[in-house]
């Protein structure tokens, strides 16, 4: 149900969907750079059910956010 949820969740954005196999899809989302922080949290809400592959700068942004969240959790 992740694809269905993602299509609804990102219905306000331009996107393309490609079926890779019976259970995997590629969802390409087009967004304005100024909306990147909002998009970051929207994508993180999917937890481990999605993998972000590109752009590399966005992948690094996700890693940074997850490291910060982990550091907060470990220091609590």
pLDDT tens-digit readout, 28-48: 999 999 999 999 999 999 999
Q: Does pLDDT of 19 surpass 80? A: yes
CA 23 – CA 1 distance, rounded (Å): 10
Q: In DSSP terms, which residues pair with 19 in a beta bridge? A: 25
CA 8 – CA 14 distance, rounded (Å): 12
58, 52 in Cβ contact below 8 A?
yes
What does the pLDDT average to over 7-15?
97
Angle between helices 36-44 and 56-75 (to 10 degrees): 60
| Residue 74, pLDDT score | 87
Strand, helix or coil at 47? helix
User: What percent of the chain has pLDDT above 70?
Assistant: 100
């Amino acid at each position: 149900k992740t694809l269905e949820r993602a299509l609804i969740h990102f219905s306000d954005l331009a996107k393309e969907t490609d079926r890779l196999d019976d259970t995997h899809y590629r969802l390409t989302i087009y967004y304005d750079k100024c909306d990147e922080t909002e998009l970051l949290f929207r994508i993180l809400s999917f937890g481990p059910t999605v993998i972000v592959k590109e752009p590399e700068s966005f992948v690094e942004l996700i890693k940074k956010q997850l490291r910060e969240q982990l550091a907060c959790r470990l220091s609590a």
